[in-house]
Amino acid sequence: MLQLIKYILWQCPNLLLVCPLFFVQLKYQPVDNLTILNRLASAAVNSIVDQLSPDSSASLIIRSQNQQEEGNWWIENWFVKILNQRGISQIYLNQQVSSNEIVAEFKILTLGVQYLPTSKKGLIERKLKLNLAIRAFEGSTGQVKFVDEVTKLYADSVGISYIKNLEHSNYSFTYANIPENRKYKKYIEPFVVMITTAGIVYLFFHLRSN
């Protein structure tokens, strides 16, 4: 008993170092999917506006080429927000050209999250992607300013138990199917193949003996 007490006292400095790390890991919460997608959208739209290079007096029309896309309004909001941040107030959505506006048409090619299995227990790989096609032209003349495709990616690994907390009920593009755990299948499938093969061999010799 005395030796056990001495051992515990001797390990106290190590425990004091480990315990804070343990509590930090318990409190760790991965960043949710919507927050990450917002970061990707901000980066993508900023790069597009950089190419537009509008001055504060510019008048812009933002048009979506996939009106039924759920994230359409979300991307439009990012255009409005970033243009406003740059001092541009004459912003219109899906309007007809009436004067010398710059028209920026975008199409959402990819928007969402994907979960992939990993070799680590309790972890799953998370990939988020935003892919936008963009075309900008002078409204009065139709002269093309630029055509581009912008892609922003993010990937990490998160605990499977956190998945529900990472998704947002009001945004379906923050959801994805969790892949099936094949941990046991890799053992079961070869066993099934072996049993099936043994059965075929048995039937073959059994029929020959008859």
Average pLDDT, the chain: 82
Collapsed DSSP state (helix, strand, coil) of residue 12: helix
pLDDT score of 185 = 46
More confident site: 20 or 150: 150
CATH class for the domain made up of 29-179: alpha beta
Domain ranges, ordered by start, for the chain: 29-179, 181-210
CA distance 59 to 100: 7
pLDDT of 39-94, one tens digit each?
999 999 999 999 999 988 999 999 999 876 789 999 999 999 999 999 999 999 98
Which neighbouring-strand residues pair with 151? 131
Two structure tokens written together for 14: 């190590």
CA distance 69 to 62: 15
CA distance 168 to 70: 14
Closest C-alpha to 86, from 57, 128, 44: 57
H helices within 86-184, ranges in order? 163-166
The answer to whether the pTM exceeds 0.85 is no
